[in-house]
Structure 1
Amino acid sequence: MHKVAIFLVIAAATGCSGGTTKVSTKSAPLEPGEVFWAKNQLAVQTELPGEARFQNFEIMALSNGDRVYCGEMNAMARSGIAEGFVPFYMRRSAGTVKAVNTGADSAEFSAKKCAEARNGALRINKV
């Protein structure tokens, strides 16, 4: 699963999907079923999904109908060492994950995208 995340980060950074578009964003309520689904999608990106911990979890609704999930995740390596809480960013469209960025390598990108979403506007790849 790490290869998928890395490809999505590269695709987002290079804009290989045909450019970007700007969407408006607003905070969305934390519905338990949606939060559970999103955390599971993020946790499976880690070596030990059952050990992933979350804090500052947020959901934002986009004007195009997509949803963005932001916060921090603490993943545990197989060695038993936690990497500490690191920003994550995930976007879904109609139940399909369109972008997922987790881990220290994409922390700066995730923090930037989440800040844009919190400020009410976000650039996303056109699909």
Structure 2
Amino acid sequence: MSDLQRHKAQISRLTDALVRSSQKSKLRDELLSETQRKLRAAQEAAKVEGDKAEERTRSLEEAEKLLAKRSEQCRQLYELIGVLEGRLAEQTETAANAPSTPRAGGGQTSVHAAALENKIQRL
């Protein structure tokens, strides 16, 4: 085999190797590009989910505040009902023990009723 033929064979092998290497490089670039695209999509999806989670957390905190407010209002109403029941019991007892003549100071009851009604409306 002459030197020329050996050089041609070597050039042919090197050319084939270069083509294969180029094809592998192109495939790697395509895989890298696809992987980067998938990564960006995953990051965007994670951001959207994170934003949704933050919104749900804020909504939950607002609901907890509202629940605490409503619980306090219920506690105040139960307290008010207890006071009203006590006063009703006192009035019933007083009415049962009192003579049938109207008693003085009867206007106080309407003042108390108006004050209680005002307090109920504020709740």
TM-score clears 0.5: no
Report the TM-score, using the length of structure 2 for normalisation: 0.23
Higher strand proportion: 1
Higher relative contact order (CA 8 A, sep 6+): 2
Higher helix proportion: 2
Which protein shows a greater Rg? Answer: 2
Report the TM-score, using the length of structure 1 for normalisation: 0.23
